[in-house]
Structure 1
Amino acid sequence: MKHLTQTIKALSDPIRLRIVLLLQAEGELCVCDLMAVLKLPQSTVSRHLAYLKRSCWVDTRRQGVWMHYALSQESCDFCKAMLLILKQHAADLPEVAADRSALAALLKDKPAACP
């Protein structure tokens, strides 16, 4: 029961939900990408990513000094079902569309600073 409530609670914060939806759309992002799209400081984004990692929503991959984040490939069945529901129902939300548009513009014009 504790795992289930922690998993649900992780998505109850709008910033964490936006992060999960961005990772779902793109696959893998670094902190600097999320900072730019969410317009939040590194400390805030990193704190939310740490919470999502503890809740088994995201995995990390280090490349040099950069940390890359992606949705966990070993998610429980409940998480997989939640991601499917989010994919079906969240795409129409204006905030989600704005985040995805900002991310697309960022990635299009992004220099190869972080691998």
Structure 2
Amino acid sequence: MARNDLRDRCDTPAVIAPRSIRGHAPLLRALADEARLEIVARLAAAGRAVCVCDITPGLGLAQPTVSHHLKVLKDAGVVCSERRGSWVYYSLDFSIVGALGDLISALAPPRQAALEAPEKLAKEG
């Protein structure tokens, strides 16, 4: 009987609107690259706008490649840029944290159900 209950839960369609999921896809694609995640981590650690020339060292990538990754991140709304003379400075757009939180919340089961599920399965199994 426990297996039927589990199967019923797995067959339940997702409650997330497909349009909402599609809206998060560009953000997730932009973050689905190790180099871009490292760039995001460096920007987060800096806590201020950083020039591409300060991001490049230690990444093992050429400056044009880092600039390409920054463009992908900017197009996805992860970073903001500001031109200062001939240099471009990048900083995180912290609204992505909210967007990621919203997506995780939408994908996660309700808190009470998540807390009860392991206990219920242990009793039935």
TM-score past 0.5 threshold? yes
Q: Where does the alignment leave 5 or more consecutive residues of structure 1 unmatched?
A: 83-115
Deviation at 1:26, TM superposition (A): 0.2
Alignment length (residue pairs): 81
Rounded to whole Å, the distance in 1 between the matches of 2:71 and 2:94 is 17
Q: TM-score, normalised by structure 2?
A: 0.59
Alignment correspondent of 1:70: 91
- Paired amino acid for 2:78: W
Bigger RCO (CA 8 Å, 6+ sep) = 1
- Secondary structure at 2:56 match in 1: helix
Superposed counterparts of 1:20-99, under 5 Å = 20-27=40-47, 28-75=49-96, 77-79=98-100, 81=101
Q: Where does the alignment leave 5 or more consecutive residues of structure 2 unmatched?
A: 1-20, 103-125
Q: TM-score, normalised by structure 1?
A: 0.63
Alignment correspondent of 1:10: 30
Identity of aligned residues (%): 37
Q: Larger C-alpha radius of gyration, 1 or 2?
A: 2
